[in-house]
A and B are shown apart, each in its own frame.
Chain A
Amino acid sequence: MSEIVFNIISGIAYLVLAPVVGGLLAGVDRKISARMQRRVGPPLLQPFYDFFKLWGKQPIAVNEAQSFYVFGFLLFVIISGLFFFTQGDILLVVFTLTMASVCFIVAAYSSNSPFSQVGAERELVQTMAYEPMLLLVALGFYLNCGSFSIETILNAPHMNFIYMPGIFVGLCYILLIKFRKSPFDLSMSHEAHQELIQGVVTEISGRTLALIELAHWYENVFLLGFVYLFFAWSATWSPVLGLAMCALTYFNDILIDNCCSRVKWEHMLASTWLVTLVAGFVNIMFLMYMR
């Protein structure tokens, strides 16, 4: 019984706190990036100011349907995160996340504007690039812990990372795509120096754009949760290590973002699939024969 209560509480905590944490992460990101470029950077709370500014704008749209798809994107990201934080099934999380990506892509397609469509197609290629690795992450946990359930994974007898270092490397690689960081920020970028017209979200403005920001904050939080799973086991001090590793991974991604320029889609697809094969799949084979 207490377990159910705990799950409900953590689900509600996710709903309320994830946007706060996600927004702060975005603020930290901008601050650190600025410092790396020898700028002062915006205040830490700037993403929230931006969000509320967008929220108050006059509603403008290019068609009636688009905001529905964006809403679907937000909804499925939230549902996907809820499955994660209520310790549900990790495959279900991945599948629901895919559903969210499809909604996002269709939102961009629906405007029928050239810039938007280029963004949508690139986003689609990105999805195709990272999807195999994300599935392998889930399968790796299944092989290592004997279950897709996050509850079981969190209570593993040993640190998962020890048995799945290759899969962790693969996950870090695709997180660059998911966080929309250079060199893989093909479909849209937060940096003004990368593009003047912002790919997927070209035709989205005002409150709808704010919803997309919100969805990304939710998404980033539980993507870092995947990192956390690698360093969580039954030991009491593992949460500290897990959180530290999440922070380190995030910092690392910011660093790479500031060191790299955007690559062509061919390079992204080929390199991601290569990493999936070499790091992810070899690790999976290893786990399979260990069983």
Chain B
Amino acid sequence: MSLPALLTGVPLAAAILVFCLRGNGSRNIIVKIAAAVTMALSVATGVTYFGHPVFIKSTGTMLSTVIMAVDVIAALAILYYTLVKFKKIWIAALELIQLGLILWFEQGVGHSIRLSADLAIDNLAVIMVLIAGIIGSLIAVFSLGYMEEFQKEHPEVEDRRPFFFFVIFLFLSAMFGLVISNNLLIMYTCWEVTSFCSFLLIGYTQTEEAIHNSFKALWMNLLGGVAFALAIVWMGIEYETVELSMLINLGRSAQPVELAVALLVFCGFTKAAMMPFSGWLLGAMVAPTPTSALLHSSTMVKAGVFLIIKLCPVLGGNHAGLMTMFIGGATFLFASCAAISQSDGKKVLAYSTISNLGLIVCCAGIGSYEAAWTAIMIVVFHAVAKSLMFLSVGTAEQQLGSRNIETFDGMFCSMPGLSLCMIIGICGMFLAPFGMLISKWAAMKAFVDAGHPLLLLVLVFGSSTTLFYWTKWLGKITAYIPSGKNREEGIHGVQWLALRSLSALTIITCILFPLVSQCAVIPYLEAAYQTSADVIDRNNLLIMSMMVILLVVLPLRFGKGRKKKLVVTNLAGENSGDNLSYRGVAGQTVPVSLRNWYMESWFGEAKMKLCGFILCGSCLLIEFAIICGGAFHV
């Protein structure tokens, strides 16, 4: 009991400390120590519980009282923002509905329910703890440097850094609670806290746009919260249980629990920003970059897919499963198409996150052993590479004053260190032999074996559009434009620390992924599915990780050979000698500027969103109609 308590307690204590001791100096120390301790604790959790899944039952009523208290406090805070401060009555109504449901349930049915376990720490939970603990802490450390610069660059934004770090650590604490809980009431509470924290983080700058987007995030996530509350109440009344593990057992013994599963999956959709709820994640870009990194990679959206992956064994052939896989698939395809037409670096990253989450959700919806393996592997790879990408783009934005990919021209020469991080991140995101590709491979196998040709189509087209937008970006930053000055000055040491650690982590995960699969994912799946198999032949996994090693070693040894004569490039006129300008037809000097290709008419954002929203929205409605019909008329 002590380790899980510490895991949630330490970040909470850090949050309060950071909030109370408001000086810059003390904050720098507290955040670093807290990050280190959190990281150490998550690793300790990993060491203790890897391969030894445990179910923990709390004694006495302490825990449930605390949970209730947190529920009420979070609700009051949300009500304060929605009713008193900003007058958003209908968002408050969403909150009141779920609070009412939960309180009513606790007072009535909830009392008679016997619990067998409050917490369940299995391998999946440990993986999530490691992701949140290591990556989340690194992002917190990165924020120290980033936020200092941010406040300097934006003097109009009120300096609320104590509040910012308070929310970040609160977020981590809630995230830990979420992934280790088995009692849905505990999970619901943590779920609410993460929703609320993301609302606060998105609205950090308090500009009109930020406030608007933060409320967008809030109402979408509260809608998910209502579904969560409904699922709890329905399960409590029908089956007298509020445990996730019991729900899965019931589902596997062919009990009609489809409605509860579908409600929970819906709730996962809102958090994982599936279309039509993708808007809040795109809107979250207005916040300072560490916020986006945290929401996109290790915490918020991963909580959504975590819940859906947990439900994997009961998805598949039923309507809840069909809904999950088709919405995931459509989101994957349309989000990856929409990313092509974007030039804003953060927006490309946001669409790529949505599309990857779509693939994860789609795999989870298929529900087979292989599909679940794929989903978990993508979660791991995506968390590492995406956090690296966000932090790199954020740093580049601070140095260049813009996050438009077109301004990253010549980064290779002017910011060699940062561009290397970015290249590693991009390669980690999509390229063979890096991790993402393994996942695609397994996903293909899983889709074929599940017999869904449409999903196969989505996968092959989605992966080629993914290739397009990433390679385009890669080309932009590898373009060799000689520049006299190094523009990397001003990047703080803590930022480098986070960037380098994450780069190393990306490479290490890609090299060691056979080990991750063997030691972490397969044991979890064996327990969940009671079968054992290699999804991808072990030899092929080894070949892939050898290729990563090759790719890392190769550049180190290259270029020691013959000296080459360097010449200027071929421009549309006489090159002035530095590749930066040429003499045009009328004799005037024309500077060279190259722009990338966005294919607006083919992959325009509005078009893709419209298609995706209509498809996903109608799928959601139809499947829920079928499930409700089936649940109430049998």
Contact = CB atoms under 8 A, between A and B. Distances in A.
Interface string A92-128: 1001101100100110111111111100110011011
Contacts of B565: 58-61
Report which residue of A59, A72, A114, A128 has the largest number of chain B beta carbons within 10 angstroms of its beta carbon.
A128
A170 to B, nearest CB: 11
Contacts of A64: 559, 564, 566
A149 to B, nearest CB: 8
7 contacts: A95-B432, A109-B475, A117-B479, A124-B471, A131-B463, A132-B464, A142-B448
Given A92-B540, A121-B596, A139-B456, A61 B566 contact: yes
Nearest 3 A/B pairs, CB to CB:
A109-B475, A113-B569, A131-B464
Contacts of A202: 570
B570 A95 contact: no
Interface in B548-566: 554-555, 558-559, 562-566
Contact of A281 (B453, B464, B476): B453
A288 interface: yes
B537 interface: yes
Given A68-B554, A111-B480, 18 more contacts: A88-B540, A91-B441, A92-B540, A95-B437, A96-B547, A99-B431, A106-B474, A109-B474, A111-B479, A112-B481, A114-B571, A114-B592, A124-B468, A127-B464, A128-B464, A131-B460, A131-B467, A285-B453
Nearest to A281: B457
A172 interface: no
Contacts of A281: 453, 457
Interface string B181-204: 000000000000000000000000
Contact of A124 (B472, B481, B566): B472
Contacts of A111: 479-480, 569
B269 to A, nearest CB: 27
A136 interface: yes
Nearest to A65: B480
Given A92-B540, A135-B444, A128 B465 contact: yes
Given A68-B559, A95-B437, A105-B475, A121 B460 contact: no
Contact of A61 (B453, B472, B567, B579): B567
A95 B559 CA distance: 27
B569 A128 contact: no
A63 B566 contact: yes
Nearest to A99: B432
B570 A106 contact: no
Contacts of B480: 62-63, 65-66, 110-112
Contacts of B432: 95-96, 98-99
A151 interface: no
A96 B544 CA distance: 10
- Counting contact residues on chain B (CB < 8 A from A), the size range is 35 or more
B90 interface: no
Interface string A248-291: 00000000000000000000010001001100010011001001
A128 B559 contact: no
Interface in B478-496: 478-481
B312 to A, nearest CB: 23
B104 interface: no
Contacts of B3: none
Contacts of A115: 570
Contact of A65 (B474, B478, B571): B478
Given A115-B570, A128-B465, A291 B478 contact: no
Interface string B529-557: 00000000100100110010000001100
- Counting contact residues on chain A (CB < 8 A from B), the size range is 35 or more
A110 B419 CA distance: 13
A159 interface: no
A177 B288 CA distance: 44
Nearest to A277: B457
B80 interface: no
Given A106-B474, A132-B460, A68 B558 contact: yes
Given A61-B566, A202-B570, A89 B467 contact: no
B89 interface: no
B478 A113 contact: no
Interface of A: 58-69, 71-72, 75, 79, 83, 88-89, 91-92, 95-96, 98-99, 102, 105-106, 108-117, 120-121, 124-125, 127-129, 131-132, 135-136, 139, 142-143, 148, 197, 202-203, 269, 273, 276-277, 281, 284-285, 288, 291
B256 interface: no
Contacts of B464: 127-129, 131-132, 135
A269 B544 CA distance: 30
B452 to A, nearest CB: 9
Contacts of A72: 554
Contact of A284 (B433, B453, B602): B453
Given A60-B564, A64-B564, A139-B456, A98 B448 contact: no
A110 B478 contact: yes
B453 A288 contact: yes
B564 A109 contact: no
A113 B471 CA distance: 17
Report which residue of A60, A67, A92, A105 has the largest number of chain B beta carbons within 10 angstroms of its beta carbon.
A92
A121 B473 CA distance: 11
A112 B569 contact: yes
A142 B451 CA distance: 13
A125 B433 CA distance: 21
Contacts of A89: 537, 540
Interface of B: 409-410, 412, 431-433, 437, 441, 444-445, 448, 451, 453, 456-457, 459-461, 463-465, 467-468, 471-472, 474-476, 478-481, 537, 540, 543-544, 547, 554-555, 558-559, 562-572, 579, 592, 594, 596-597, 602
B569 A197 contact: no
Contact of B467 (A88, A98, A113, A142): A98
B559 A106 contact: no
Contacts of A60: 564-567
Given A79-B547, A112-B480, A128 B467 contact: yes
Contacts of A276: 460
B451 A127 contact: no
A99 B433 contact: yes
A102 to B, nearest CB: 5
Nearest to A96: B432
A136 B475 contact: no
B568 A117 contact: no
A98 B460 CA distance: 13
Contacts of A284: 453, 456
Contact of B570 (A71, A108, A197, A288): A197
Report which residue of A65, A71, A288 has the largest number of chain B beta carbons within 10 angstroms of its beta carbon.
A65
A87 to B, nearest CB: 12
B567 A112 contact: no
A288 B437 CA distance: 24
Contacts of A62: 480, 566-569, 579
Contact of B475 (A106, A139, A142): A106
Contacts of B540: 88-89, 92
Contacts of B478: 65, 69, 106, 109-110
A276 B463 CA distance: 14
A131 B444 CA distance: 14
Contacts of A65: 412, 478, 480
B103 to A, nearest CB: 50
A114 B565 CA distance: 21
A59 B562 contact: yes
A142 B540 CA distance: 16
Contact of A114 (B460, B555, B594): B594
Nearest to A208: B564
B460 A112 contact: no
Contacts of A83: 543
Contacts of A291: 451
A240 B451 CA distance: 35
A230 B596 CA distance: 39
